C-alpha cells in the first residue's frame, strides 16, 4: 500500500495479493490510486487514505488462515511534484509540502535551530572540495534559471514547519495501525517495523534538497522494531546496522532459513542480546542517476562508517577522499584526509572499504 516508485507505473507488481499504489510521486490531495484492478481518483488526504486501506486490510482483507506481510509506504513527507517518466521534474508544475488541514499551523510559532555547519553557509565551513564544486554548479546562472527557488525547497524555517506538520499525519497513521493490531489481538505476535529511506539536510554542508550524500544527516535514518514476543520495550541498540539487515531479520523472525548469498545480517541476536560479535564497520554507497538534480550527477561514492570514523571515497574524484573523526567532529566540518598523521588510519579504512565492497560483489 502506498509509494512504490520503482518505475513510473502504478500497476501491481509480482508477489502481492493486495495492491494500492500511485504513479511516480503521486499527489497529496485527491490522488489517483490504483486499486481493485484500475486507477481511480479518490477524495481526501494521501496519508489518511493510505492508512485507511492499511487498517482495512488488517481488519477485513487479509487471509486469516495465514500470516501476512503488509508494506505501507507513505508519500509523506515528499512535496507535491510532477515527475516525468525519465525521473526528471516538471518545473512548471506547482510544488510544496502540504499538511493535513487539521495540522496546518500547529508549529506556526516554532523555530528549528540550525546546526553550526549550516549557519552561515560559506566555503570556509565546508570541509569537502567535492561539495564546494557542487555549490558552484548549483549557484550557476543556468541552474538558477532552470530550478530557481525549488533548489532549496523546504529548507527554510517555513518549509521545515510544513514538513513537521505533514509528519503529524504519519504519527497518527502509526497509532491507528497499532490500535488496529491490538483490537485484532495481533499486536503481540506481529513484527512492526518503522523506517525511512533517507534523512534530510536543512543547510548542513550547504545541502538542502540533495538528500543522497554520505553525511550523518542523510545516512542515519530511524529504524524502530516492535515485537513483544521477543524484543524488550525501549531497548536501544547502538551497534552499526544497515537497511540491508531488515530482510534477513524478518526472514529469521518468520522462521525462514537464511541463505549464504543473502546480503545483510539478521538483527535478532542484537535485539535479544544473544551475541557479543558484530560488525565493526558498514558500507555506504550511492551511484548518481539523479535527473531532478543535474548538479550532483558526478558524485558517485563508496564510504565506510565505523563507530568513530568515516572515510568517503568519491569514485569520479579519487584524489579528494574525506576523513572525519565523528567523536571529535560530529558535524563533519574538518576533513582530516590531507593530514600526515592520519595516513595509517586512512590506509586501514581504505583496506576495510575494499573488503566490504568485495564482499558485496561476491554475494
pLDDT tens for each residue of 83-131: 666 666 665 566 689 999 999 999 999 999 988 888 655 555 677 999 9
Which pLDDT score is estimated for 206?
87
Mention every residue, 6+ apart, whose C-beta is less than 8 A from residue 137. 143, 295
Neighbours of 300 (CB within 10 A): 16
On the question of pLDDT at 43 being above 60, the answer is: yes
- How far is the C-alpha of 49 from the C-alpha of 172, rounded, in Å? 12
- How far is the C-alpha of 5 from the C-alpha of 21, rounded, in Å? 9
More confident residue, 233 or 340: 340
Average pLDDT over residues 225-251: 94
Which pLDDT score is estimated for 88?
65
More confident residue, 8 or 257: 257
DSSP character string of 252-302: HHTTPPPPTT--S--SHHHHTT--S---SEEEEEE----TT-GGGTT--EE
Which pLDDT score is estimated for 135?
87
On the question of pLDDT at 149 being above 70, the answer is: no
Which pLDDT score is estimated for 69?
95
Which pLDDT score is estimated for 211?
83
What confidence category does residue 148 fall into, taking pLDDT thresholds of 50, 70 and 90? confident
- How far is the C-alpha of 21 from the C-alpha of 28, rounded, in Å? 13
Neighbours of 137 (CB within 10 A): 14
What confidence category does residue 162 fall into, taking pLDDT thresholds of 50, 70 and 90? very high
Find the angle CA(128)-CA(130)-CA(134) to the nearest 5 degrees: 115
More confident residue, 261 or 99: 99
Strands of the chain (E only): list them.
32-35, 38-41, 192-195, 223-226, 281-286, 301-306, 309-314, 322-325
Question: pTM for this one?
Answer: 0.91
Which pLDDT score is estimated for 124?
56
Give me the percent of the chain exceeding a pLDDT of 70.
Answer: 93
Average pLDDT of the residues of the chain: 91
On the question of pLDDT at 261 being above 90, the answer is: no
- How far is the C-alpha of 84 from the C-alpha of 14, rounded, in Å? 24
On the question of pLDDT at 11 being above 90, the answer is: yes
More confident residue, 215 or 292: 215
On the question of pLDDT at 262 being above 70, the answer is: yes
Cβ distance 285 to 301 under 8 Å? yes
More confident residue, 351 or 119: 351
The lowest-confidence range among 30-39, 85-94, 162-171 is: 85-94
On the question of pLDDT at 320 being above 60, the answer is: yes
Amino acid at each position: 500500500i502506498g509509494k512504490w516508485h520503482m518505475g513510473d507505473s502504478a500497476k501491481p507488481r509480482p508477489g502481492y495479493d493486495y495492491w494500492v499504489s500511485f504513479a511516480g510521486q503521486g499527489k497529496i490531495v485527491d490522488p489517483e490510486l490504483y486499486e481493485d484492478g484500475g486507477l481511480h481518483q479518490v477524495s481526501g488526504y494521501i496519508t489518511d487514505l493510505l492508512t485507511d486501506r492499511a487498517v482495512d486490510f488488517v481488519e477485513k482483507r487479509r487471509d486469516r488462515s495465514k500470516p501476512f506481510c503488509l508494506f505501507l509506504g507513505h508519500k509523506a513527507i515528499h512535496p507535491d511534484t510532477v515527475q516525468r517518466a525519465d525521473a526528471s521534474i516538471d518545473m512548471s508544475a506547482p510544488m510544496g509540502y502540504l499538511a493535513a488541514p487539521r495540522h496546518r499551523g500547529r508549529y506556526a510559532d516554532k523555530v528549528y535551530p540550525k546546526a553550526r555547519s549550516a549557519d552561515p553557509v560559506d566555503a570556509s565551513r565546508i570541509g569537502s572540495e567535492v561539495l564546494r564544486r557542487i555549490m558552484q554548479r548549483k549557484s550557476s546562472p543556468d541552474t538558477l534559471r532552470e530550478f530557481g527557488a525549488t533548489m532549496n525547497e523546504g529548507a527554510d524555517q517555513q518549509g521545515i514547519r510544513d514538513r513537521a506538520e505533514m509528519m503529524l499525519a504519519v504519527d497518527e497513521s502509526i497509532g491507528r495501525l497499532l490500535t488496529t493490531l491490538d483490537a485484532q489481538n495481533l499486536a503481540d505476535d506481529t513484527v512492526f517495523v518503522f523506517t525511512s529511506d533517507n534523512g534530510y539536510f536543512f543547510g548542513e554542508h550547504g545541502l538542502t534538497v540533495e538528500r543522497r550524500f554520505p553525511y550523518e544527516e542523510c545516512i542515519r535514518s530511524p529504524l524502530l522494531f516492535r515485537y513483544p514476543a521477543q524484543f524488550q520495550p525501549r531497548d536501544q541498540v547502538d551497534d552499526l546496522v544497515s537497511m540491508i539487515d531488515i530482510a534477513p531479520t524478518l526472514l529469521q523472525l518468520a522462521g525462514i532459513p537464511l541463505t549464504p548469498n543473502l546480503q545483510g545480517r539478521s538483527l535478532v541476536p542484537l535485539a535479544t542480546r544473544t551475541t557479543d560479535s558484530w560488525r565493526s564497520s558498514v558500507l555506504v554507497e550511492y551511484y548518481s542517476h539523479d535527473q531532478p538534480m543535474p548538479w550532483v550527477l558526478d558524485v558517485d561514492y563508496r564510504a565506510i562508517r565505523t563507530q568513530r570514523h568515516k572515510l568517503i571515497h568519491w569514485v569520479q574524484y579519487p584524489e579528494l577522499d574525506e576523513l572525519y573523526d565523528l567523536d571529535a567532529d560530529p558535524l563533519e566540518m574538518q576533513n582530516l584526509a590531507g593530514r600526515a598523521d592520519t595516513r595509517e588510519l586512512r590506509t586501514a579504512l581504505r583496506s576495510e572499504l575494499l573488503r566490504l565492497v568485495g564482499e558485496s560483489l561476491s554475494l
